[in-house]
Amino acid sequence: MFKIVAKEKLTPLIHYLRVKAPAISQKAKAGQFVIIRVDEVGERIPLTLADWDAKEETITLVAMEVGTSSKKLGLLKAGDSIANLVGPLGLPSDIERFGTVVCVGGGVGIAPIYPVARALKHEGNKIISIIGARNKDLLFWEDRMKSVSDELIVTTDDGSYARKGLVTEPLKEVLQREKIDRVIAIGPAIMMKFCSLTTKPFNVPTIVSLNSIMVDGTGMCGCCRISVGGVTKFACVDGPDFDGHQVDWNIVFDRQKVYLEEEKQSLERWEACQCGKS
Amino acid sequence: MEEKPKSKLNLNRVEMPRQNPQVRAHNYNEVALGYTGEMAMQEATRCIQCPKRPCVAGCPVNVDIPEFIKAVREDNMEEAVKILKSKNALPGICGRVCPQETQCEQVCSLGKKGAPIAIGRLERYVADWDLGHKKQAASTELPKSTGKKIAVIGSGPAGLTCAADLARLGHKVTVFEALHTAGGVLMYGIPEFRLPKKIVQSEVDYVKSLGVDVQLDSVMGKLATVDDLLGSGYDAIFLGTGAGLPMFLDIPGENLNGVYSANEFLTRVNLMKAYLFPEYDTPIKIGKKVAVIGGGNVAMDSARCALRLGADQVYIVYRRSHAEMPARHEEAENAEEEGIIFKFLTNPKQIIGDDKGWVKAMECNEMELGEPDASGRRRPVVKAGSEFTMDVDIVVVALGTTPNPLIPSTTKGLDVTKRGTVVADEQSGKTVKDRVWAGGDVVTGAATVISAMGAGKRAAVAIHAYLMGS
């Protein structure tokens, strides 16, 4: 059992959890993920690390309520425990001195881009960050991102805060404005696809972090397989970072939908059970 | 009924009752029901207690088979348990999944004249009797601690056996398991109806009762490397990480929705209990027409799971003929009885998807058998112009597995083959790296539960000799 030492809501549907995980906290690196199983009947779901603290022996997870598992996670409080927590999994992000790096975080993807931006900044890169959300209420960690960026651009889809529009618009402007050595985009698959399409004409290496459906997370099942440059890769062990220009996005989108019906059925059943409890 | 007078040599074994095929095809309860006390006694009585004891040599862990059978015959079950468990920490598992027909039973003296003694069934009977009588703890006498610490990586059959034997020799053993449950392939791979998970967990509990510490959720190579462990107080390490990486066909359409590796399909069903969805959260696609590609035990297990999930038609698609199938005869027979349709001499060419990215059909070639290949089996060759299409909506690829590179790729000084297996001495399991042993599928490639246990056992002997300085 892994104890939650702090928990808060970052937005109505996005939860921040700091979890006691001594061994993982010592080994974690930016870009890696963990697999959690909330309770004894739970699914195994991957969550990219949002932060860790080796001294405090904790890791930080940021999860958005989507299906049964993330809703169950949302109900837990400080002092409660998560049944299983495995990690750190996947290959760490490449952290080198590239020059100028644009870090794009969309929605809940703002959380995992934060440690990547921090590590790249620490390495001596100039960091231009672009973070976006659907509206003002869904935006979080602007302050954290500011603290690790030389420049921070914020967008909301509806214009309720900062600049109105999608993250790809300022991304394009930055690419036109100055020489960019690398772009890293983490967020919804559709956002990562369009960031990759935006950077392609500029020929700037673009890294995306794929959060496929997984079971074991150690290369055993192949559930998370995707196609990169025409070759099948497992997101769990070959990634989660991949070259966004080489990813076959249609396969990414299709494979995300495999269990849509079952996820809906599971959630409806769980919600009905919750009503019965209160 | 009139009882026949006992002949000196009874050439027919006592059949083990099984669930009716039509009924069991729709449930996850165990297929084989086990002997009753009377049946066990009757079967045990057939053993002629021959002085040559070929069965013992035929057993990879050298169980004293005639002795435990004698104890059953004398109705001294506690003694039978003691004899069995002194050599085999996982008898309930072995009694169910060992290929006895190619090991102990194959060399049984009775086999020359009739049916060999049903050693596996008797082993299972003794193990189940023990579980029913909760005597496990009593049969364990632990020696004084040697003060030596050993890390075992992987809690499958090789790791558990090695851990149990080392603990019984007085060493402090910690087993590291990546998944949330101990047992490895016994939990994620072999289905409930062939090996009930409560049997596995009881035998894991027995290993723990010997003082073995099992650390779950611990992915070695990530959380700590082999060198980290060697530097943090462990005197020796045993790698029993198995062969967990799935192989795919490498044909067009393999990434379509509805294509599973057998590992994923079985892990969802067995470990995650997707057959109980939505009580358990992990889903699985059931499918109307399911094609399982491959002819081994894993293919049989996948097909029989698909049937139990509720598929209308389940095919085994195998490129050679019935005679070359690597699956145990008993498992292929069980599958056939349950209504699995076998398509022999058939090889998939491509998987065809619909406009939404889902499997809708599979194009195959008919094959014919040519000259024997390196494995000694006749090589299947494509019949020209034999393409045909099967309508299917789920495809499960059960072509075999290779070792997970997580440990080899993070450990300096291990010798690894092109197939990804770790090189280790056949007898002792010693790798070329100081203080590191390995055994089971990580060394041999995918093989059987009992051969992995044999390797775990031999490594335990070698590790003990090394630690005690002899």
Would you say the C-alpha torsion A19, B223, B241, B123 has a positive or negative sign?
Answer: negative
Q: What is the pLDDT of residues B353-403, one digit of tens each?
A: 999 999 999 999 999 998 888 878 888 999 999 999 999 999 999 999 999
DSSP conformation letters of B397-451: E-S-EE--TTTGGG-TT--B-TTSPBPB-TTT-BBSSTTEEE-SHHHHSS--HHH
Hey, are the CB atoms on B219 and A265 less than 8 Å from each other?
no
Q: What is the mean pLDDT of chain B?
A: 92
The C-alpha atoms of residue A152 and residue A121 are separated, in whole angstroms, by 13
The C-alpha atoms of residue B332 and residue B296 are separated, in whole angstroms, by 9
Place of tokens 């019935």: B322
Closest Cα of chain A to B306: distance in Å? 17
Q: What is the pLDDT of residues A181-215, one digit of tens each?
A: 999 999 999 999 999 999 999 999 999 999 899 99
Contacts of A218 in chain B (CB under 8 A): 178, 219, 244, 404, 406
SS3 (DSSP) at B127: helix
Q: Which residues contact A39 (CB under 8 A, 6 or more apart)?
A: A72, A83
- Torsions phi, psi for A106 (to 5 deg): -120, 130
The C-alpha atoms of residue B246 and residue A76 are separated, in whole angstroms, by 35
Contacts of A226 in chain B (CB under 8 A): 255
* % of residues, chain A, pLDDT over 70: 99
What six digits make up the tokens of B75?
A: 């109705």
* Region label for A203, one of left (φ > 0), alpha (ψ between -120 and 50) or beta (otherwise): left
What pLDDT score does B5 carry?
47
Say if residues B319 and B380 touch (Cβ distance below 8 Å).
Answer: yes
CB pairs under 8 A between A and B: 112
Please name every residue paired with B364 in a beta bridge, in sequence order, or none if there are none: B348, B388
* Residue B8: CB atoms within 10 Å: 5
Closest by Cα among A77, A89, A109, A275 to A190: A109
Residue of chain A minimizing CA distance to B178: A86
| A214 touches B: beta carbon within 8 Å | no
Hey, are the CB atoms on A215 and B272 less than 8 Å from each other?
yes
Q: What is the pLDDT of residues A158-173, one digit of tens each?
A: 999 999 999 999 999 9
Say if residues B257 and B442 touch (Cβ distance below 8 Å).
Answer: no
Residue of chain B minimizing CA distance to A35: B217
Say if residues A85 and A38 touch (Cβ distance below 8 Å).
Answer: no
Q: Which residues contact A18 (CB under 8 A, 6 or more apart)?
A: A4, A5, A6, A7, A58, A59, A60, A61
Hey, are the CB atoms on B281 and A41 less than 8 Å from each other?
yes
* Cα separation values, B60 from A255, B65, B66, B109, Å: 43, 12, 15, 18
Helix, strand, coil abundance in chain A, percent, nearest 5: 35, 30, 35
Closest by Cα among B271, B280, B241 to B180: B271
Hey, are the CB atoms on A220 and B216 less than 8 Å from each other?
no
DSSP conformation letters of B144-169: -----EEEEE--SHHHHHHHHHHHHT
CA A50, distance to chain mean position in Å, is 8
- Torsions phi, psi for B270 (to 5 deg): -85, -60
* Residue B208: CB atoms within 10 Å: 17
Say what the ipTM of the complex is. 0.94
Would you say the C-alpha torsion B262, B268, B272, B274 has a positive or negative sign?
Answer: negative
Q: What is the pLDDT of residues A127-170, one digit of tens each?
A: 999 999 999 999 999 999 999 999 999 999 999 999 999 999 99
What pLDDT score does A162 carry?
93
What pLDDT score does B11 carry?
82
Average pLDDT over residues B21-47: 93
Average pLDDT over residues B324-335: 92
What is the rounded radius of gyration, in angstroms, for the C-alpha atoms of chain A?
18
Q: What is the mean pLDDT of chain A?
A: 95
The C-alpha atoms of residue A10 and residue A33 are separated, in whole angstroms, by 20
